[in-house]
Amino acid sequence: MSQNEINNLEINMQRYFLVLSYKGTNYNGWQIQPNGNTIQGEINNTLTKLNSGAEINCMGCGRTDTGVHASKFFAHFDFDPIFDLENFKYKMNIMLPNDIVIHKIFKVKNEAHSRFDALSRTYKYHISTTKNAFNFETSLLFQQKLDIQIMNQACIILKSYSNFESFSKVKTEVKTFDCHISEAFWVLKENEIIFTITANRFLRNMVRSIVGTMIDIGTQKLEVEDLNEIIISRSRSNAGKSVLANGLFLTDIKYTYL
């Protein structure tokens, strides 16, 4: 095939957004890895099959780690014009594993980008206060008493800073550790304690290490004021341990055009 023919094919491609959810228990995170089962890999394989074997690669709005879930996740892919999006969604859902669900597919401008165009991301972390036979894969069992009022005081401190290197995975290659947190709070809902946090971006392991530090504050291992020193130190060793991935959900992404 000549370069002109290739270019013509690329010109005819349309960009589409996927809205999906997944339970991350059985996956090595979102991003494709050499020797691991991933959500991105499953979706790429499905799109490629629907494209008669010609390779299709999707791009996600973020990179959730091993065992992390998403109740609302966006990804984009380029494909020949799809004339029946509902039927295409139906076919994808039949072909995908039961723990990955496509909720919506829609056409966007070809320059739209699910990752770089995202204005904010929201995560929730679920802590179960009682043993439950049905949610052990989607929440952290923690039966010590937590002082939610004190933890919410710590959230106010959290929102007053922008550099979160203390909560970033060590040796992470990023240009900046700055994140702008617009929302952070804890709520008690029956037998669950849920942490919600929204920011323009997140560092690797950031939410899980923040939750671990908040638990130390909620159990009086740390004082609320200690959070200032932890953040100012910019040292991961001063923050609390990262909690398990099973309680973490990506729940929302905001875009200007949605």
The set of catalytic residues is 65
Q: Classify residue 136 by its DSSP letter.
A: T
At 230, list the tokens: 């932890």
**Which contacts of 33-40 are long-range, i.e. CB under 8 A and separated by 24 or more positions?**
36/66, 39/64, 39/100, 40/75
- Terminus-to-terminus CA distance in the chain, angstroms? 38
Cβ–Cβ < 8 Å for 31, 41: no
**Gap between the Cα atoms of 22 and 97, Å rounded:** 10
Cβ–Cβ < 8 Å for 240, 206: no
